[in-house]
Chain A
Amino acid sequence: MAGFADLNLPQGLDKKSLQSLLDTAAHLGYSAVALNHVIDFKEKKQEIAKPVSPSELFPSLPIVQGTSKRIKVLTRLTLIVSDPSHCNLLRSTSANIRLYDIIAVFPKTEKLFHIACTTLDVDLVCINVTEKLPFYFRRPPVNMAIDRGIYFELLYTPAIKDSTMRRYTISNAISLMQICKGKNIVISSAAERPLELRGPYDVANLGLLFGLSEGEAKAAVSTNCRAAMLHGETRKSACGVVYTVKKPRKVEEEETAVPACKKAKTQA
């Protein structure tokens, strides 16, 4: 079973509050989180900085509750694109972009949403949850994104903060579900304070409210996050990633490979 993951913790916080966020996330049972670095192209002169390495930032990571492993911290870059020219950056083989584990785009217009779903080499497409959707989702780009293994990200923290945003979150989520039929959804937090984080099962239950089925809702906080993480990893390699896991060999199984009755016959 894939562990739970929260692919959006803002990076712009000071170290102390980030540490408390990480502690809370580990305590709630998340086995992986991603530190999100946001770049808005509207503001001039945005340089893509190198990702901070989590191991430097936190010498000792908290242990995930219920396991003996430490929490996994990834880096993530989110580009807010409002003009087609901004996408050139993603096409060019910029060195710093390659260093991030996960790359997400936040398209502001329908055309950019189409480009993001069909051509851009990204892992996540963020869905606006803080205001009314500026465009309708259409089936062709969404289907294309699902085929390419790109995931749609919904945030739940705005829904906790404000009741108007809660309405937009739910309505935008439902209109997305009508098109994507509950496939390829990732729900993450974007929480700035520990009290804005929610446990993975609470988030899965929230998925039911967005119109997901129980299985899809649980996948939105576990397997889909893992798939997005692996999709990001394939970008660094030529075509794919394969993991090998050493399996403890079962000794007694080999011994009984020959049934007892046959053994007796060969001996005799």
Chain B
Amino acid sequence: MAAAAFERRVLRRAAEHHYLRVRLELPDGGARPNAAQFKQLVVTALRELHGEVGAALPVDVLTYEEKTLSAILRVISSGLVKLWSALTLLGFYQNRRCAFRVLQVKPCGAGWLPPDVSSGSKLGRLPKPTAFS
């Protein structure tokens, strides 16, 4: 069983997208963003650091869990550094301190996403963002 838990994937060329597993840390109490506000927060962070070009970066929130404030983001590979640095330098949510913890970054979404979403990317179709985007 343990052997079957691993799957080897070979990428023949640079991956089109990168996937980030992130968690938003907020001080206890106070408003928690819903999926739409979360996406808004990501775009705000991008606009703050990289301006309109950053805000125009194709970023999708694939899953978002309001209870744990964790999300899976997908971004085109050329914009990974921009997105990551924007998340790092985000310090406030609604005038209260917050921090994005980037838990994992990888060039393939398999393993995190439900099979229908991740297998979609294997066929060359783009997986449909499940949460608001």
Contact = CB atoms under 8 A, between A and B. Distances in A.
A201 B81 CA distance: 12
A103 B132 CA distance: 50
B48 A163 contact: yes
Interface in A198-251: 198-199, 201-203, 205-206, 208-209
A213 B95 CA distance: 34
A203 B98 contact: no
A208 B85 contact: yes
Contacts of A202: 84, 87-88, 102
Given A193-B97, A195-B99, A196-B97, A203 B91 contact: no
A209 B83 CA distance: 11
Q: Which 8 pairs show the lowest CB-CB distances between chains A and B?
A: A160-B91, A202-B88, A195-B99, A195-B97, A205-B84, A209-B85, A208-B81, A198-B88
A166 interface: yes
Size band of the interface chain B makes with A: 10 to 19
Given A203-B88, A206-B89, A195 B81 contact: no
B69 to A, nearest CB: 13
B55 to A, nearest CB: 15
Contacts of A203: 88
B25 interface: yes
A112 B85 CA distance: 33
A120 interface: no
DSSP class of A's interface residues: helix, strand, loop or mixed?
helix
Q: How large is the interface on A (under 10, 10 to 19, 20 to 34, 35 or more residues)?
A: 20 to 34
Contacts of A198: 88, 99
B49 interface: yes
A39 interface: no
A43 to B, nearest CB: 29
B101 interface: yes
Interface of A: 28, 156, 159-161, 163, 166, 193-199, 201-203, 205-206, 208-209
A196 B91 contact: yes
A199 B102 CA distance: 8
Contact of B91 (A28, A161, A208): A161
Given A166-B49, A205-B81, A159 B89 contact: yes
A157 B84 CA distance: 16
Contacts of B115: none
A156 B102 CA distance: 17
Contacts of A163: 48
A32 to B, nearest CB: 20
A205 B105 CA distance: 12
A63 B101 CA distance: 19
A202 B103 CA distance: 10
Given A195-B27, A199-B102, A205-B84, 8 more contacts: A160-B88, A160-B91, A163-B48, A194-B99, A195-B97, A196-B99, A205-B81, A206-B88
Contacts of B49: 166
Interface centre among A197, A202, A208 (most CB of B within 10 A): A202
B88 A195 contact: no
Contacts of A28: 101
Contacts of B48: 163
A166 B88 contact: no
30 contacts: A156-B89, A159-B89, A160-B88, A160-B89, A160-B90, A161-B91, A163-B48, A166-B49, A193-B97, A194-B99, A195-B25, A195-B91, A195-B98, A195-B99, A196-B97, A196-B99, A197-B99, A198-B88, A198-B99, A199-B102, A201-B105, A202-B84, A202-B87, A202-B102, A203-B88, A205-B85, A206-B88, A208-B81, A209-B81, A209-B85
